[in-house]
Amino acid sequence: MNYYSLHHKSPKTTFKNAVVEGLAKDRGIYFPENITPLPKDFIANISNYSNHEIAFEAIKQFVGDEIPEDKLKDIISNTLTFDFPVVKVDDNIGTLELFHGPTMAFKDVGAKFMAQCLEYFNHGNEEEVTVLVATSGDTGGAVANGFLGTKGVNVVILYPSGKVSDIQEKQLTTLGQNITALEVDGVFDDCQEMVKTAFLDEDIKRTLTSANSINVARWLPQMFYFFFAYKQLHKEHKDIVFSVPSGNFGNICAGIMAQKLGLPVKHFVASTNVNDTVPNFLKDGVYTPKPSKATISNAMDVGNPSNFIRIRELFNNDLKNLKKGFSSYSFSDSETRETMQKIYEKSGYIADPHGAVGYLGLKKYGLQENEFGVFLETAHPVKFLDVVEETLPVKVEIPEQIKKVINNKKVALKASSYEDLKAYLMS
């Protein structure tokens, strides 16, 4: 399987090189050259397969022969160590819980998968790889946990000061070992731009890669969730509509990839907070990135989502075609809080702010009688403890995964500009 840059100014490359490089030399993100649908009988008989078998079938064409099949199966087995249940919260709405992993966020899967791929590719290589990652919240903790102790890999996490939750900050600043956190004076988009700039800096004489969803090994495994949800729901014989809380748009893009592989999905809704670059694009056809705004659903505080260019590629850059299978709506913090309350009052379910935005997306879309809506609950409510307990009459129990880090001491370096990051990387 070859990959090409979506800026179309760099040569095609292999899966291995796409993972190790992270970003093409022309600053474009990589995209697979071919997408071959899975056999129809595989989809029809999906209940007969384990999650590990489903994941292997979904990902193997994108890895090709660069990782042996037995090793790829081991990587999947080591990645998928927890459940992905669909929990019903309304007559025709369920939530796909993606927070049962080690850092209680959906990014645990992609981070662990990528870490193992990179470790395999780096085996026997004396030169260390530096993984750069920008985070608006959950990515940092998931990457830190996924790469912790990985031989030959150092991780540098950039996060916006004061714009992640306390628990999110603890998860990315307290692990030590091969993990370093840089607290950036700015917003997520500043962190992301610093990462992209580092890749093109000829002065930095070391191997850099990214663990954001721009990296194909972080992005593609997120397809698994959608297959797992369909496995649980296909016997309902209803059309499935997925609503995905969206920030950098990697998760929903992976869902559309699953659809291109043959997964029967009626429609995708990208639900955002007030960072409404994509909803505005669907209205007027003009893509206008803008500085991100801070919200209570901070993991979606992204003003220039990197993966939206992949979504457009999946629809052949045809806006009319895109609108047929894809919608996007924006919601305020007050609407989010009201919806958290409504969900709790109706079903007793505690949704985090991101999940509530996903639920709002389904309501705005307007489900028909023959449709079943699934919103993704991308993180455990405990990760947004203050917001949840201010909004709902509940006391959230602290899970064991969080107890391990909540009292640890924060260790982070300060960075106010790209020069600060560069100085650290060159030291």
Residues involved in catalysis? 107
Which of 168, 191, 378, 366 has its CA nearest to residue 272?
Answer: 378
| Closest of 275, 268, 251 to residue 323, by C-alpha | 268
| Crossing angle (nearest 10°) for helices 69-79 and 51-63 | 130
> E strands within 104-256?
129-134, 153-160, 179-184, 207-210, 239-245
**Which residue in this structure is represented by tokens 């455990």?**
380
Sheet with 179-184: list strands edge to edge: 207-210, 129-134, 153-160, 179-184, 413-415
CB 262 within 8 A of CB 38: yes
- Map residue 2 onto helix, strand or coil: strand
Q: Whole-angstrom distance between the N-terminal and C-terminal Cα of the chain?
A: 37
HSE-up (13 A, CA, CB side) for residue 241: 28
